[in-house]
Structure 1
Amino acid sequence: MNNSLPRQFALDISHTPKPSLSNFLAGENLALCSTLRDVVQSWGNKKTFATEDDVLNARWIYWWGPEGSGRSHLLSALETAAEQSGLICFALTPHEPISWVRLEEELTILSLSDTASIITVDDIDRLDERLIASLFRILNEVRASKAIHIFMAGNAAPSALTLREDLRTRLGWGLVFQTHLLGDDEKILALQEAAQARGLVLSAEVLPWLLNRFYRDMPNLMALIDALDAYSLETKRAVTLPLVRELLQPK
């Protein structure tokens, strides 16, 4: 298998569609996707949740699965949906601690509001001790709030994470889903849809060849679709197997 990065990955791909629920191929993740669509629809209807047992409803969702199973795509899709609905959204990752500080500064005000606000937390399994403590405080505030939604993703079920016990327990207070990798046929369908969204026409042999010779995870495959799109425009050539081989040649 060719694991060298295509030499054209640095091409401008600013036209890449933003992650959304509509451009995510659910596969075995249909239950999770349906739940998230219902949540997003509630934002559009300006609904809030303010019942005593609301920690168990769709304001609080954790999902886990292997790399390439769509964990981050779904979080980004919710961030995009929140933006489109005009809602406050904080996107938290292990790599941007300043975002955690800003959220904690606003959390008390958000917790008293009847208007939905959104928090996403990616790569929970990679949080350091300081961010773990921050997430513990955030979850307590979210549970006591009127309309804060929190969506979290990691690489393992709550009970299997190497986190402190009180945090693992809290992750399971709401809904928990496992995300699954796509099969080869599903990957091809997802890549075909991604190419179509970009107006890119692929010859029939391209995608099966890529699955046998290139990365098999969806993030890298999607990045390759972007690179093929840009390279096709640059060279003014159709996306055929010779063009793909040329793109994948080492520098």
Structure 2
Amino acid sequence: MNTSLPRQFALDLSHTPPASLDNFLPGKDLALVDALRQSIYRWQEREHSVDTNALDQRWIYWWGPQGSGRTHLLKAMGTAAADLGLEHFSLTPDEPITWVNLEERIPTLSQSIQSSVITVDDVDQLNDRQVAALFRILNKVQASQGIYIFMAGNAAPNHLHLREDLRTRLGWGLIFQTQLLNDDEKIQALETAARDRGLILSAEVLPWLLNRFYRDMPNLMALLDALDAYSLETKRAVTLPLVRELLQSGQSTA
């Protein structure tokens, strides 16, 4: 049942907690999350020497299906960088200005031992110009001591439809595959997200949503945000009747 959300609630995400490793349920991705935590630890400890900042500690690519947390983890690393006052560049296929800004800054960043952070989402969707830019960026990262780069796509490097030299470089660091959560893990993740929002759900809500609504985490999280907003506006607890009312409202405005 692909139920639409009412636009006014689906777009009201200002109350959503920022992505972090603490509000990510790792499931089978514990090794990846541990590697990311180690990166944050190095930023906190200001470890910048060559011996403690090897390339495979600063260069991570992960891949997996949509809904497996790829983007959440990239945003989590951006959040951590911002919290520590580090320079952070978030590259995506649809934001060309950030690519230009990074290429202007990266010669300076590559000469510094101060940590800086680059995240690249949807590597599989880059156009030819962005592929060429990423190739140049990766060469600068390799030659640096303080630049960390985290990248995500929908396939392992050797299965991406990209230039061979870029596919080879993507594999120079650590590579992980992100996994979809099973239903029990989804419920656990949604319960954690609800607690983070101070949202109390009646016991039957989440199992019902998994059976009747979208099953992928991005849409389930969007619905949770909509329920949070609707609950605040109506001053009612999040029970199954409230969920049905919200979804019916979504269908009537679609």
**Fold-level match, TM-score > 0.5?**
yes
CA contact (8 A) 2:202 2:239 kept: yes
CA-atom RMSD, angstroms? 1.3
1 or 2, which has the higher helix percentage? 2
CA distance in 2, matches of 1:210, 1:229: 15
> 1:24 and 1:53, CA in 2 relative to 1: closer, same or farther beyond 3 A?
closer
CA distance in 1, matches of 2:70, 2:129: 23
CA contact (8 A) 2:9 2:230 kept: no
Q: How does 1:108-127 map to 2 (within 5 A)?
A: 108-127=107-126
**Residue 47 (structure 1) aligns with:** 47
Q: CA deviation digits over 1:54-112, x for unaligned, max 9? A: 22x22000000000000000000000100111110100000001111110011110000
How far 1:51 sits from its partner (Å)? 4.5
Structure 1, unaligned runs of 5 or more: none
CA contact (8 A) 2:10 2:222 kept: no
**Residue 247 (structure 1) aligns with:** 246
CA contact (8 A) 1:65 1:179 kept: yes
How far 1:50 sits from its partner (Å)? 1.9
**Residue 80 (structure 1) aligns with:** 79
CA distance in 2, matches of 1:89, 1:14: 21
**Residue 17 (structure 2) aligns with:** 17
CA distance in 1, matches of 2:154, 2:11: 30
SS of corresponding position for 1:58: helix
**Residue 27 (structure 1) aligns with:** 27
> 1:149 and 1:53, CA in 2 relative to 1: closer, same or farther beyond 3 A?
closer
Structure 2, unaligned runs of 5 or more: none
> 1:103 and 1:208, CA in 2 relative to 1: closer, same or farther beyond 3 A?
same
Do structure 1's residue 204 and structure 2's residue 206 form an aligned pair? no
CA distance in 1, matches of 2:241, 2:88: 44
> 1:94 and 1:182, CA in 2 relative to 1: closer, same or farther beyond 3 A?
same
SS of corresponding position for 2:151: strand
CA distance in 1, matches of 2:132, 2:119: 16
CA contact (8 A) 1:11 1:230 kept: no
SS of corresponding position for 2:29: helix
How far 1:11 sits from its partner (Å)? 5.6
Moved over 6 A (4+): none
Identity %: 67
> 1:105 and 1:173, CA in 2 relative to 1: closer, same or farther beyond 3 A?
same
CA distance in 2, matches of 1:40, 1:141: 21
> 1:21 and 1:49, CA in 2 relative to 1: closer, same or farther beyond 3 A?
farther
CA contact (8 A) 1:50 1:147 kept: no
Q: CA deviation digits over 1:32-54, x for unaligned, max 9? A: 00110111011011112524992
Q: CA deviation digits over 1:100-145, x for unaligned, max 9? A: 1110011110000010100000000000000000000000010001
Aligned partner of 2:203: which letter?
A
Say how many residue pairs are matched.
249
**Residue 103 (structure 2) aligns with:** 104
Aligned partner of 2:120: which letter?
V
CA contact (8 A) 1:110 1:148 kept: yes
How far 1:15 sits from its partner (Å)? 1.2
Aligned partner of 1:165: which letter?
E
